[in-house]
């Protein structure tokens, strides 16, 4: 529930609303905004009797949020959330942010080479898994902490921010300590203890859609992060399972405008996992930008044929450079811009 304050409401009026919400046994979240000041009420598991709050001085109206998710909804917050990442990068603003890098960090040479290549082509965030959720326990599982340290080296050298996955609650702290964005993978979208921990980690979170998750389930998982106090949440459409094995997944591009209408959170697309096929990544990256994605995440490796994971869907560096050229044109056509590396020519 949202208590919307009148334009002339004083800080005392807002304070009185906060106190009343607490007296009723709920938590209050004051939200000063450019358009309106409101106080959110959380902690209720059903409709709250709002008569006491409606009668308080300075209160304009009470909005009952109709969706099962509350704080992530557009009803709760009208303006889009802009997630600020280290290095002056903003996700959810006018710029479309490109995250690129290998599926997994494999060695110092591999990650540094990949970082230089994607940075030169214009990516602003480096991706690379140190902890890998693999279908088989016998395949490469990632370098762990050593991988995180190599990502930090790549950041020091290139100035790129880094995003990497945390697979369990203990891993969240390690990832938060080293990375700029904590990635929660598709397989863990509904790992609620992991979400709670990530919600308290003090770093932006990239939440990937589960491979059979509905949009409502995705937004409810994001709600876990906001409920813990983390407002810096970026959603990611990474393809859903279908009956057709022609592609690894089906990139659900409708999710992008849908999420934008239901939520104020930014949403990016991952055409690499979304298709599973290298030759389909560029067209779907173009389509994602055209559909209004706030960013894209793409797998790129100096030598995809030697990649220890996901080589089939990984771009060669020159293909990635071509992708960047093409999406600049698409962004331009819809009045957006591809975010440039800080310090690069505009
Ligand atoms: C990844 O981005 O490395 C990854 C494992 O993706 P997903 O969780 O979407 O499968
Ligand atoms: Mn991968």
Pocket probe mutation, ligand 1, options 99, 183, 189, 234, max atoms within 8 Å of Cβ: 183
Residue nearest atom 9 in ligand 1 by C-alpha distance: 186
pLDDT at 127: 98
Between the CA of 310 and the centroid of ligand 2 the distance, in Å, is: 5
What distance in angstroms lies between residue 277's CA and the mean position of ligand 1's atoms? 14
Alpha carbon of 88 to ligand 2 centroid (Å): 26
Q: Which ligand lies nearest the alpha carbon of 269?
A: 1
What's the 82 CA to ligand 2 centre distance in angstroms?
26
Q: Which residue from 99, 142, 273, 299 has its CB within 8 A of the most atoms of ligand 1, so it is best to mutate?
A: 273
Instruction: Give dist(CA 39, CA 55) in Å, integer.
Output: 15
Compute the distance from residue 318 Cα to the ligand 2 centre, in Å.
19
End-to-end CA distance of the chain: 43
Q: Is 345 exposed, middle or buried (0-12, 13-18, 19+ CB in 10 A)?
A: exposed
Predicted pLDDT at 35: 77
Select from 208, 249, 281 the residue to mutate for testing ligand 1; criterion: most ligand atoms less than 8 Å from CB. Answer: 208
104 CA to centre of ligand 2 in angstroms = 7
Maximum CA extent, the chain: 67
Nearest ligand, CA of residue 300? 2
- What pLDDT, on a 0 to 100 scale, did the predictor assign at position 38? 94
* Best residue among 102, 130, 133, 140 to mutate for probing ligand 1, ranked by most atoms within 8 Å of CB: 133
The residues lining ligand 1, judged by C-beta closer than 6 Å to any ligand atom, are 103, 129, 133, 165, 185-187, 208, 238, 273
Distance from residue 310's CA to the centre of ligand 1 (Å): 10
Angle between helical axes of 108-121 and 317-333 (0-180°, round to 10)? 30
What the block records as the tokens of 76 is: 């709760």
In angstroms, the CA 269 to CA 197 distance is 24
**Domains in the chain, start-ordered, CATH in brackets?**
2-63 (3.30.70.1140), 83-338 (3.20.20.70)
What pLDDT does residue 344 have? 53
Query: Which residue has a Cα nearest atom 10 of ligand 1?
Result: 186
pLDDT digits (tens, 9 = 90+) for 294-340: 999 999 999 999 999 999 999 999 999 999 999 999 999 999 999 99
pTM of the full predicted structure? Answer: 0.95
**CA 341 to chain centroid:** 19
Which residues does the chain have with pLDDT short of 50? Answer: 345-346
Ligand 2 centroid to 185 CA: how many Å? 10
Select from 136, 137, 32, 140 the least CA-distant residue to 77: 32
Instruction: Tell me how far the alpha carbon of residue 286 is from its chain's centroid.
Output: 19
Atom from ligand 1 closest to the CA of residue 186: 8
């Amino acid at each position: 529930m949202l208590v919307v304050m009148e334009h002339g409401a004083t800080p005392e009026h807002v304070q009185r609303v906060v106190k009343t919400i607490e007296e009723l046994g709920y938590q209050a979240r004051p939200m000063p905004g450019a358009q309106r000041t409101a106080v959110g009420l959380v902690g209720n598991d059903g409709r709250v009797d709002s008569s006491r709050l409606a009668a308080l001085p300075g209160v304009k109206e009470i909005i009952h949020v109709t969706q099962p998710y509350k704080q992530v909804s557009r009803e709760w917050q009208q303006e889009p959330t802009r997630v600020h990442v280290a290095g002056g990068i903003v996700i959810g603003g006018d710029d479309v942010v490109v995250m690129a890098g290998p599926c997994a960090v494999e060695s110092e040479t591999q990650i540094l080479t990949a970082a230089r290549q994607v940075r030169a082509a214009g990516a602003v965030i480096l991706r690379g898994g140190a902890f890998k959720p693999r279908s088989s326990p016998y395949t490469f599982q990632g370098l762990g902490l050593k991988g995180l340290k190599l990502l930090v080296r790549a950041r020091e050298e290139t100035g790129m921010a880094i995003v990497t996955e945390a697979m369990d609650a203990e891993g969240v702290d390690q990832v938060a300590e080293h990375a700029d964005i904590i990635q929660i993978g598709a397989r863990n979208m509904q790992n609620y203890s992991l979400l709670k921990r990530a919600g308290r980690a003090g770093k932006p979170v990239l939440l990937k859609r589960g491979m059979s998750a509905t949009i409502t389930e995705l937004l409810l998982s994001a709600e876990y992060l906001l409920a813990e106090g983390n407002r810096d949440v970026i959603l990611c459409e990474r393809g859903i399972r279908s009956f057709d094995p022609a592609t690894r997944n089906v990139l659900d591009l409708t999710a992008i405008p849908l999420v934008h209408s239901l939520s104020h959170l930014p949403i990016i697309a991952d055409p690499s996992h979304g298709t599973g096929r290298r030759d389909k990544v560029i067209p779907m990256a173009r389509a994602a930008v055209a559909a209004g994605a706030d960013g894209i995440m793409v797998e790129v490796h100096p030598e995809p044929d030697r990649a220890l994971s996901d080589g089939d869907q990984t771009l060669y560096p020159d293909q990635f450079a071509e992708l960047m050229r093409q999406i600049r044109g698409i962004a331009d056509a819809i009045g957006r811009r591809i975010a440039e590396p800080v310090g690069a020519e505009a």
